Amino acid sequence: MTEKRNPEVEPAVSPPAVFLERHSYRRRRLADAARLLPIIGAGLFAIPLLWPAGPGEAEPVPMSSAIIYIFFWWAALIVASAGFGIAAKRLPPREVNDPESEKWPR
């Protein structure tokens, strides 16, 4: 075992910090946003359920509008997802004594 340390030399285990450093905090909130993305997406794709359809309801939405709506938000989700991916790659890897238990891929 190579990393066996002398217990006397080893420093006492310090309690984790309460607050994060600025860049860790940013990264954490970025992860939150990335997690939020599919929920937003699901919500956006659920909106067509509210559109009038079928007999007896209001004038149905024209197909072209429907296409524009769906493809626009679809593309927006892709752009947002790509943005998060790139941002996550740019931020430095998380530090060792991470106070929160969230794990980021390295």
Sign of the Cα torsion 39, 42, 45, 47 reads negative
**28 is an interface residue for other proteins by CB under 8 A:** no
- Amino acid symbol at 86: I
**56 is an interface residue for other proteins by CB under 8 A:** no
**6 is an interface residue for other proteins by CB under 8 A:** no
Please state, in angstroms and rounded to a whole number, the distance separating the CA atoms of residues 16 and 27: 18
SS3 category, 52: coil
**1 is an interface residue for other proteins by CB under 8 A:** yes
**42 is an interface residue for other proteins by CB under 8 A:** yes
**45 is an interface residue for other proteins by CB under 8 A:** yes
**22 is an interface residue for other proteins by CB under 8 A:** no
Please state, in angstroms and rounded to a whole number, the distance separating the CA atoms of residues 20 and 16: 10
Q: Cβ 84 to other proteins, closest distance in Å?
A: 8
Buried/exposed 47-70: b ≥16 CB within 10 Å, e otherwise:
eeeeeeeeeeeeeeeeeeeeeebe
Rule CB under 8 A: which residues touch other proteins?
Answer: 1, 3-5, 7, 10, 13, 31, 34-35, 37-38, 41-42, 45-46, 48-49, 51-54, 60-67, 70-71, 74-75, 77-82, 84-85, 88-89, 94-96, 98, 101, 103, 105-106
